[in-house]
Amino acid sequence: MSHFDEFATLARERRVIARKPHDCDACCEAGRIRVGDEYVRNSTLFDGSWEHANLCLRCVEIAAELMRRCPCDPIVATLDCGETWLDTFGEVEPPEVAALAFMLPGEAVAR
């Protein structure tokens, strides 16, 4: 469940190394986060209930690029808003952003 119009009681984002495989909650690719991969774990507390999202570094970079371009818009952890880059920004996505969509597991590195 997402809370677009509510403020979290507590939010935490941390980078961790996977001890077991995880699906990425942004791209929904099964097993995208492999054992030994670094990934981001987002934890948010809403009304006494914790919500967690595991994000592969590819999706973290895509979300970071979206935040750089639209710092006022909330970025949903699933990155599934149904809009295209062209719809949102009125331009074709830059090559470096388009390349992120084809990044293989293990190609993303921490900055």
Q: Which domain holds residue 29?
A: 10-100
Number of domains in the chain: 1
* pLDDT of the residue at 22: 93
Cα gap 79→27, rounded to integer Å: 7
Q: Is residue 110 part of a domain?
A: no
* pLDDT of the residue at 3: 46
Cα gap 46→92, rounded to integer Å: 36
Q: Which H or E run includes 42?
A: strand 38-46
52: helix, strand or coil = strand
* pLDDT of the residue at 80: 59
Task: Give the ranges where 1-111 is alpha helix by DSSP (H).
Answer: 57-69, 85-89, 95-100
* pLDDT of the residue at 108: 61
Q: Is residue 1 part of a domain?
A: no
* pLDDT of the residue at 77: 56
* pLDDT of the residue at 5: 47
Q: What is the pLDDT along the chain (111 residues), one digit of tens a residue?
A: 444 445 656 678 899 999 999 999 888 888 889 999 999 998 888 778 888 889 998 888 888 887 787 766 665 555 655 567 777 778 888 887 777 766 666 666 544
Q: Is residue 5 part of a domain?
A: no
